[in-house]
Chains A and B, each alone.
Chain A
């Protein structure tokens, strides 16, 4: 039996005149199927058809047919499909229902009415398969992002689904977390579970995928070749540090909570260049950035910022969006800039690839578009110093390219960039200096080897 078949399936979100899915014809029949496409192309929407979240949870209009494991998606509720279709979401923070690990894994089993004795063994089996058997009794809020995503996966595996759907499950994980999550997924696939996965970090998915589907503006053409932007993102390096640039420095800075400083006695400076802070979670990268931004007063030492605006891109930047349109979001930053930035809104919209969505509500956009909107809102108007905290987390390839360009332009205009990231590719692409932050101390790495463009 075919696992899933969509026949001329079209879907419109409530109030939208443009179809999010346009006459989709696909057949999924075992193995690991990778679904690729640009941000906003309809990946998340297609995935949500498999368990009926589209249209049952989201509403809207449907034409055509979709059948999953012999059940018509339109006439079966999500909770019925959930018996056989597991779904893993993007954000590890927003999938736990209960406060402890084993309790949370059991949530789905409770809903399906699994008897308690069977539940216990299935919970522990699922935790083992997800590689977090040792965390069974832990409080969910003490887990790292990677552990939380494995917890969510365990919650899905416990249901023993015949079809496993994953919506950008790796985007919030570091490289190690991504590799081990994909390992668990392919083990599940080898045990007979069909897997459909949308992910922009294709380097982790492609080696394991049996088949690939491309989606573009709601259309899936099974025969189409991969669109060009899916190739690995080109590395170019900004080699010229501009003279007369915006100098910044921290001298002997200790910061964090009084009595328990997170970083101690840090000396660092820069001007017109890109300094990349790398190091494990909790090593003090964010504390350093926040101190440099002036959001966190230094306990001792001195911080010098260049005259002009200091821009700060926090983690989860899309949460700062609050204006009715992308355009007014960018205008808002320019209006509030202390030195009356004279940047042009249209130029910024163009630079961040937002011209097509300029008049749309930012929170209605796809994840990638929202990230670009947040980037634009923060970096518009040529700040003297830009501080970026994990800017590529959850970012797709076009957004990354736009980010790299924006960083190069900023430096070319005499600005400085300090950025914390786990993303080795990004660091190689833009860094003039890489600074290792470990246990609250910094060590400046040797200059980055020039990379051939």
Chain B
């Protein structure tokens, strides 16, 4: 059910909002056990909210999202609800405040029915790295839904909510949207406040909608976009009329086709399908412009250096001291004592250089505080998060900073310039969203580099800070959906929405 369908039903009086909520509750109760998208539901709260919103509908004072039932990715803070980022380290943590986007959704009468699964701290491309277990693709439950907003995408694909919010740091909205056959919009960096979005990589993270169609994405963006004094990186720029752009799409747009995005590694069927779409758009009045984005090939490497660097710092606060998981203190103290004792005995027994080395080791032993940090974090973080914290720590370390972080920042600027130049010539740039359709659960878990390559078409938009959308492009012979991506210059969301709408209209 799309937003306009839901709204039409409740505003016409055909159904009460309560019935819509109940319908979703039923759907969640029947399907979620298998899909594993929702990790927390608040049915009672949703029903109570439905009553209030219904009253406003009856009074004629309801907001723009009255009738809409949404799931929220488990890293966007909702007051007094668990916010765990699918991580053990935030076990039992409830946010004490609402994220700005949550405030804005509530103010427009959206009903927030629950929290949805994700890759731990948004790090992953399959939604398999979650303390709640993997999410399954509703199109084929042997397949991954994509990630990190896999729960957000699966929820919409399984119609367990009207729409969801996800976050996109390197493709985490667009790639799962592609795998699940729905629409995912990554707004421009700074268009939507990040206040209350648990940070993975602060200079990349964007909140955006996942929805059944382009218009729904526009309707949600319209509510969540705009300056926020609590986020100094949010833009003062006025919002555009996103819904109008979708409802009145221009056909004579200039579409840049970058050679670099249609090369090796791309599934042939996906390639052909996108080419077909482009021919049809051209026939409808669009102009196809071959372009070059020469630094694209450095995108993945640059992204994984910069994003992990920021993550290593952003995740330092999870130390088990003030909230979240803390290792058992008594066990830790006992363990330290035993280690110290064993080492002391070794020192006593040793001679010469070995003794000196052991003495040094003894002197360098962890303080109880340091050990508590280490144990809490070792227990609390999953393997992928640890991998990225280590990568990020490494690239910022003395002696390596210039070679990695410093260089990656320079490449980021080159990639930004590629796009800047391209957008002088075209309205949007087209590409596949991901090189393949969804793959089997567990298939790439042992090969992080293969996993990272899934982001090949999506990361550069985050590096450049521009906006992008993934729209369903077709169904593969393997029965799975895949998406087409449009990117536009910063704050040109209307252009990607417009292009996305044109693709929808081809069907």
Query: Do these two chains really belong together in a complex?
Result: no
A interface list, Cβ under 8 A from B: none
B residues touching A (Cβ–Cβ < 8 Å)?
Answer: none
